[in-house]
Structure 1
Amino acid sequence: MRSEAIHAALKAATWAPSVHNSQPWTFAVAGEEICVRADADRKLRVGDHAGREMLIGCGAALFNIRTVLRDRGWAPVTRILPDPDRPNLLATVRPGEAVTPDETTRLLSGEIERRRTHRAGFTTLPVPDKLIEALVRQAAAENVKLVPAGDEAALRMLAAVTQAAQGARPQDPEVRRWARPPDSPRKDGVPADSYPREPADTGFPQRDYAWGTETDQSMAATGVVAIMTTRGDSREEWIATGQALQRVLLYACAYGVSAAFHTQALELPHLREFLREELCSGAYPQMIMRLGFTFDVSRSVRRVRRPLSEVLD
């Protein structure tokens, strides 16, 4: 039934990734139409003035809704930014005609609750080139480019810029806001058991969330470094980036590959512009990530999410 599909899609939306697990979204249902809205109170106050990262997270939630509706047998009918007078209304989605879900839809839908964000090093097991090529195609399906760092010079540049950004804001107030101490009952933020107490030396610094847990330090490989870019830098393209990001993450998860995010440099306008001009051929960098294998360590971490009742009007 359509109502059951809508409920399943809303539950799936809450499992989307977001910066610091801030979960910057709310939802409403009018008849059979789902409204996806940005929760501006959860926007990063320092590093995300324009709301770019907030909309990327909401775009990931939107992709989950679309995917689950199609997996339940209904073609999603989506409108992006449907009302100029309501800037926080990012999209509406409703179940359209009956469809038979394809193999990729079923694959992606099955990974929504299994996907985990990784915050450490990877094993030395290489990610197959064919899988990277498939991930590039997945991003392109949402009109976003996924560009692997193809040479050592690009890799060194990305690592250096990320190091510089982390060094510029070592005591990031946003990290403190969203870091969860051990045994915290909160249903948002970054749990203390989801990142290592002593970060692995991958060349890409992780955020300092203050607590951390003991982890296997033998996993210190960088993995495959990639950038997501868009031709422009509009709110529509930020939402598209979120949808492409989630599509890539779910597809990667289905083949045992995890992702670690490094958005520090993209939160500093001058460093983001430097990357756009020097590394991205004028395209706008929206996400920097590392991809690799983890022996399922990240999959065993308990994830926290706000209940649907808290985010649904």
Structure 2
Amino acid sequence: MAVLSAKHAIDTALEAARWAPSIHNTQPWIFTTSGEEISLRADPDRKLRASDTSGRELLISCGAALYTLRTAMRCEGWDPVVRILPDPDRPSLLARLRPGTEMAPDESLKTLGREIERRRTHRAGFADVPVPDRLIERLTRAAMEEGARLTPVRSPDAVRVIAALTQAAQGIQAQDRRFSLEVVRWARPPGSGRRDGVPAEGYPRRAARTDPDFPQRDYSWRHDWGSQADQRTETCAGVVALLTTRGDGRQEWIDAGQALQHVLLEAAACGVSAAFHTQALEMDLLREFLRHELCSDEYPQMIMRLGVTSDDKGSVRRSVSEMTM
């Protein structure tokens, strides 16, 4: 009976992992199973060639999938045994995990598990509703548990600096045809049957400016795609936060992804959504400026805004069979 239960936990974990967040919803992971072990690999065909030359964002996305696997398995009553980067000669093999000892999931863990499929990325402004300080403290602890640091940016001047860097990066990337074509490659037109990328209803056709303005990716570049939902009443930037790590290698990128998903699930359980801004982190000079001036020399892995929204968009994901080998 225990073997059957472990098999069920593996199947449940794989089903959950497909809902992990990823840059442009590229879903850049491959899962394989052998007996009672899951292997997580990076899918190089889904790497962003223009904006993610180092593969940093790819590994952050895969780290989020790893945390989702772990959480789902724990919700099924198994404490997973995880090995990250288990084989130096196989760089695409990011992790292996298997059910370990049996455990009894507590209610807080079950709450995170319920949010895996419900969590959504937001791509516009937020309502003028404060995010409780108590929740921010919980989110910082969640990131710390995974080996990263989440720092809310409390200084209005610092928030304006981060917004300005985002604006500068977006403006530069908008002039680069490679960046624009890459973004549009992962933007889905209305009625598309694809189960990856960002569906037309998942981003505003013309996003309203937040205060200060954090520009979104131009998924509707040279098209008239996107949601027509009126976002003019939701223009608050929300709480700006930086996710950082002490190092900046493959291990830290995976850690950052696990921390990111832990933070997102904790936030979603309290009705708080996140919007991401990675433009400035895709430009080495701007990322180094952020690191030295606002991150106490830690490496910025994600810029996000946290807030409350009435927007309730759908999402798309590939099936488990499309992600497994």
SS of corresponding position for 1:110? helix
Q: What 5-or-longer segments of structure 2 have no aligned partner?
A: none
Which residue identity lines up with residue 155 of structure 2 in the other structure? D
For residue 44 of structure 2, the aligned residue among 40, 45, 50 is 40
SS of corresponding position for 2:128? coil
For residue 204 of structure 1, the aligned residue among 208, 214, 231 is 214
Single out whichever of 100-109 and 231-240 deviates more from structure 2.
100-109
1:95 aligned to 2:105? no
SS of corresponding position for 2:315? coil
**Paired residue for 1:231?**
246
**Paired residue for 2:127?**
123
Structure 1 residue 196: Cα displacement: 1.0
SS of corresponding position for 1:169? helix
Which residue identity lines up with residue 315 of structure 2 in the other structure? R
Cα distance between partner residues in 2 of 1:57 and 1:104: 24
Cα distance between partner residues in 1 of 2:22 and 2:309: 21
Spell out, residue by residue over 1:252-298, the C-alpha distance to the aligned partner (whole angstroms, 9 max, x if none).
00000000000000011111111001111100000000000002x13
For residue 273 of structure 1, the aligned residue among 269, 275, 288 is 288
Cα distance between partner residues in 1 of 2:234 and 2:314: 20
Superposed counterparts of 1:246-257, under 5 Å: 246-257=261-272
* Runs of 4+ more than 4 Å apart: none
Identity of aligned residues (%): 61
Which residue identity lines up with residue 312 of structure 1 in the other structure? T
Cα distance between partner residues in 2 of 1:229 and 1:174: 26
Structure 1 residue 173: Cα displacement: 2.3
Spell out, residue by residue over 1:55-86, the C-alpha distance to the aligned partner (whole angstroms, 9 max, x if none).
00100010011001111111110000000111
Cα distance between partner residues in 1 of 2:203 and 2:267: 20
Superposed counterparts of 1:6-17, under 5 Å: 6-17=10-21
For residue 63 of structure 1, the aligned residue among 35, 53, 67 is 67
Structure 1 residue 93: Cα displacement: 0.5
**Paired residue for 2:299?**
284
**Paired residue for 1:179?**
187
SS of corresponding position for 2:33? strand
Cα distance between partner residues in 2 of 1:102 and 1:114: 20
CA RMSD of aligned residues (A): 0.8
Which residue identity lines up with residue 299 of structure 2 in the other structure? Y
Q: Give the structure-2-normalised TM-score.
A: 0.94
SS of corresponding position for 1:95? strand
**Paired residue for 2:6?**
2
For residue 27 of structure 1, the aligned residue among 7, 31, 51 is 31
Which residue identity lines up with residue 187 of structure 2 in the other structure? A
Cα distance between partner residues in 2 of 1:11 and 1:292: 28
Structure 1 residue 103: Cα displacement: 2.6
Which residue identity lines up with residue 106 of structure 1 in the other structure? K
